[in-house]
Amino acid sequence: MAFQLGAEMLDACVLGILVRGDAYGYSLTQEMTRTVNISESTLYPVLRRLQKDGSLTTYDKPVSGRIRRYYAITDLGREKYGGYRREWIRFRASVDNLLGGTENEE
């Protein structure tokens, strides 16, 4: 069974990756797909939305004769990430309570 990720959860996941360091689009997609099924066509609108709201900034960097666009989290993005993180902890505890289990049970 797969659970759908809404826009806010995708935003939170992207910010969670970028809080650890700057990354370019393809590397973000690879990092995300290690955990969730997401395509580049889904990720880039998330990046544009986060950039538009001031959570991310971009810069270009030449790599092997090509230009890569890197994404970096802003102070506003860090603040937003902190809020998502706090809300996730509360939400996860509530769902764990409803499901009546712990991580060690299967």
Q: Which domains are assigned to the chain?
A: 7-98 (1.10.10.10)
Query: Which of residues 55 and 106 earns the better pLDDT score?
Result: 55
- Quick one: pLDDT at residue 1? 41
Model pLDDT, residue 103: 59
Q: What is the pLDDT of residue 37?
A: 83
* pLDDT, tens digit, 9 for 90 and up, residues 38-95: 888 889 999 999 999 999 999 999 999 999 999 999 999 999 999 999 999 999 999 8
Distance from C-alpha of 77 to C-alpha of 70, rounded to nearest angstrom: 15
Give the per-residue pLDDT at 42: 87
Q: Which of 102, 105, 22 is CA-nearest to residue 68?
A: 22
